[in-house]
Chains A and B, each alone.
Chain A
Amino acid sequence: MSIPDLESRLLAASGDVDRLARTLGDGANPFPRRVNADPESVERGLAQLVLTLIELLRQLMERQALRLMDQDSLDDEQVERLGLTFMRLAERMDQLKAEFELSDEDLNLDLGPLGSLL
């Protein structure tokens, strides 16, 4: 029994396919990533976990805000303020990721059968 050729399962794609592939996680290592508890890297491991949770919350809040905006439940000032907040948050996340040398895929925890977090 051999592993099927994954390229044969690609039906269609558009845009930045390399970026998409990174969102899928590491196919060669299907087991959940763990926080590395090595004393040298424990700080980075914890930062990875905390930033992952913040990124999840940022995405959830942004989606909720967009839904309200789509329903015309927000006035112009609220939209402006929310937009600025999300922009600042995204900038700050990028800074923190750079500081801890984490990439977007590092923040995408594999939850096994539940799929990936982000």
Chain B
Amino acid sequence: MMHLYAFARGLRELEAELETRRFGSLLAVVGADEPDPLQHGLVVEGLLDRADAVLPVRFGERFVTEDELAGAIASRLEALEAQLDHVAGCVEVGVRIVPREEPADGDDGAAYMRARLREQLAADEVHRALAAKARDSVRTNRDAGYLVARADVDGFSQAVQRLLESRPSLDVLCTGPWAPYSFAAAT
């Protein structure tokens, strides 16, 4: 049984319990252990410091034989290589924005809607400004992930801080650097 952790390029060293298989320009990082989700995440985080590019694989990709692994990768090798190029040298920075939802005046429905819209537009504006500074971005309801060059993380978090100072109506949490899970392939 093999558990697939990530695809990597420019891997400098590897923990003892891990092995690699080469597919095209990719190294698939696999291990014989059956990790839990936290261990899986820690292995991927560990790779981030030891390789030029890391494309994380979501937890739960297991293969019984070498052939099964090769078969799963062969059909989408080009897509995986392109994704690894895309995230090379980058980490993910996460930003969660939660509007404060200040209660509006008792019976004024229009004022309530205007207050919610102001918060929504302020959040949209923060995301647009940050997306312009990132190599790529994804956004769900309240969370956004930004793909940021490793060397730019400090500058990016300073930009977040500056944007926040002028928007007191938003509660914002910015975390990272993480492995770029939001930009990894659905496997």
Which residues in A have some Cβ–Cβ distance to B below 8 Å?
1, 3-4, 9-17, 19-21, 23-24, 30, 59, 62-63, 65-66, 69-70, 76, 79-87, 113, 115, 118
Contact = CB atoms under 8 A, between A and B. Distances in A.
A4 B38 CA distance: 11
Contacts of A84: 107, 109, 112
- Most chain A beta carbons < 10 A, residue from B43, B143, B165: B143
B143 A83 contact: no
A83 B115 CA distance: 10
A59 B119 CA distance: 14
Residue of A1, A12, A24 with most partner-chain B CB within 10 A: A12
Given A20-B173, A23-B96, A113-B58, A1 B42 contact: yes
Closest 8 CB pairs of A and B: A83-B109, A15-B171, A84-B109, A11-B157, A14-B164, A83-B113, A12-B174, A83-B112
B25 interface: no
B109 A20 contact: no
Contact of B171 (A9, A19, A59, A113): A19
Chain A interface, >50% SS class: helix
B143 A115 contact: yes
Nearest to B59: A113
A83 B108 contact: yes
Interface of B: 37-39, 42-43, 45-46, 58-59, 93, 96, 98, 100, 104, 107-113, 116-117, 120-121, 140-143, 153, 156-158, 160-161, 164-165, 167-168, 170-178
B116 to A, nearest CB: 6
B157 A12 contact: yes
Given A81-B109, A87-B104, 9 more contacts: A9-B175, A9-B178, A11-B175, A14-B171, A17-B171, A20-B173, A23-B96, A79-B109, A84-B107
Contacts of B42: 1, 3-4
